[in-house]
A and B are shown apart, each in its own frame.
Chain A
């Protein structure tokens, strides 16, 4: 499409704004209405969560709460905040390990010639389908043999469980970049590192970001692996710690709700921070010109 065909001046920078439609076009109305309905679908079950977290006599029923902040107070006791910190450590290490390794592997799979690339990729895909509950026993035997029953090796393992998905996500993103860009840079004698950092990474940033978020949440919500592999109770992460509010004789629904809300805050914040990188990503077409 030739630029001269356009009647109005194009902005200098590639557009990062969504398409600006008329104020109340049918698209906008339908989109917002749909979102509100979907939002309701997400919100309604969570209503119970919010109500119970401030309810002093919370039960499984949705009801008007007897307001109290005691549940949040309980959820913020040192044992539980330490568990949140443990979760952060676990997830950050897992994410870094997984995303770095995945990016390197994805770039290699995408751009370079690897013998038996297809079968290897398929095998990686199969690996993601293995249920964790089966792997637990051999992994425990392995980790206990080498004395790795603590938080750092567990974090690496959690990263590994996300690795196959992340390779796929990033490879998709890398595949989308036309080779011309890299070839042009290569002709201009740019080093591999420069190609990666100046061209590939910025263009695939949304894909890398979604892979990183996936790796983070995969580690964040994991219950069985930390429970089995981390031997010291003080190093256990949030999902395991939450059982402190549930026992054989009583369940403190209010505290469970409060803790769950606190527990999901870091990821929401993370997402909101990273969603800027989605919007700042280059538009592909502009870069080719």
Chain B
């Protein structure tokens, strides 16, 4: 008779669980996550979520900064929404905002930052120090200073008109959107360059050197190896620059206050105008809600783009 020799060391599943804790093949929530997440969660929920939620609520009230409805305001339901839908300035503002944040922010700044970071890799030390410092200084100047600098540079007798041979041209007022877009890119490219510099450090050098040995020229190394590895960072950077451009409204506000004739009136500027010049905080909050929706929609678009690229990639790649 064959006897099944029972291995005295064999354990049942339950015994194993009892000894080692729950099953390791299923992902479970570890208590240490709570500890790690706590500071960020406490800060965000306490200091951010409440004001944001309250702002959303304010969008449906008739609160004023000063005026009859400053202290005693009330919930007005969809009244602000009806006003919004019939506001021509609002519709133009949405278009201007898209041009600004996507064109100048996502595309312009990301490309410029990427070019800077790539070029810095093979730069002479002196050039590297000077140019990266200039880009950083441009990023760190207070908005009031940047507004004055760009005002000085683009109006009559300023640097750019003189350089291009039209000293009496009023670049700022004739092409308001273009000038503020350039100013925006100028003020954010330094950050993009930093992000890309950091990301480029993680491009494996051996891969590039091996490719060099196999007679791949610089252009091929760039497009076939470096850029694909950087793609997630490119998308992340584009997203961040978009969101930062939303927030760069102080620059436009100080340069043109959204003018002339609303040519540079992006939503954040219009919202500030409504809230702090016309004192209609309720309506300004509603415009703010629209801004959140817009940035959320753009965020989803980027995430979707990132996911689409991720299908079929090796698990070693970055994830957004």
Q: Which residues of B contact A163 (CB under 8 A)?
A: 40, 43-44, 48
Which among A38, A104, A176 is the interface contact of B37 at CB below 8 angstroms? Answer: A104
Q: Is the Cβ of B295 less than 8 Å from the Cβ of A271?
A: no
Spot the interface stretch: B7-15, B78-86, B124-132, B256-264. Answer: B124-132
Q: Which residues of A contact B298 (CB under 8 A)?
A: 129
How many residue pairs between the two chains, A and B, have CB atoms under 8 Å in the bound complex?
Answer: 337
Chain A CB within 8 A of B2 CB:
no
Mask, B36-74, CB within 8 Å of A = 1, is 111111011001111110110010000101000000000
Q: Which residues of A contact B150 (CB under 8 A)?
A: 45
Chain B CB within 8 A of A12 CB:
no
User: CA–CA, A134 to B282, complex, Å?
Assistant: 10
Q: Which residues of B contact A133 (CB under 8 A)?
A: 249, 268, 271-272, 275-276, 284, 288
A206, A209, A286 — most chain B CB neighbours (10 Å): A206
When C-beta atoms are compared, the residue in chain B nearest to A173 turns out to be B198
Q: Chain A interface mostly helix, strand, loop or mixed?
A: helix
A113, A263, A264 — most chain B CB neighbours (10 Å): A264
Q: Is the Cβ of A19 less than 8 Å from the Cβ of B191?
A: no
User: CA–CA, A272 to B318, complex, Å?
Assistant: 27
Once A101-B39, A172-B233, A209-B198 are accepted as A-B contacts, the answer to whether A124 and B44 lie under 8 Å apart by CB is: yes
Chain B CB within 8 A of A217 CB:
yes
A26, A27, A175 — most chain B CB neighbours (10 Å): A27
Chain A CB within 8 A of B94 CB:
no
Q: Is the Cβ of A134 less than 8 Å from the Cβ of B142?
A: no
Mask, A91-117, CB within 8 Å of B = 1, is 000000100111011011000111100
User: CA–CA, A23 to B97, complex, Å?
Assistant: 46
Q: Which residues of A contact B319 (CB under 8 A)?
A: 175
Q: Which residues of B contact A209 (CB under 8 A)?
A: 198
Interface contacts beyond A38-B131, A112-B30: sample of 20 additional A-B pairs, CB < 8 Å, sorted by A: A5-B210, A19-B212, A27-B122, A35-B127, A39-B127, A45-B150, A47-B159, A48-B153, A62-B159, A112-B36, A113-B29, A137-B281, A168-B236, A169-B236, A172-B233, A192-B32, A221-B143, A239-B144, A283-B202, A285-B205
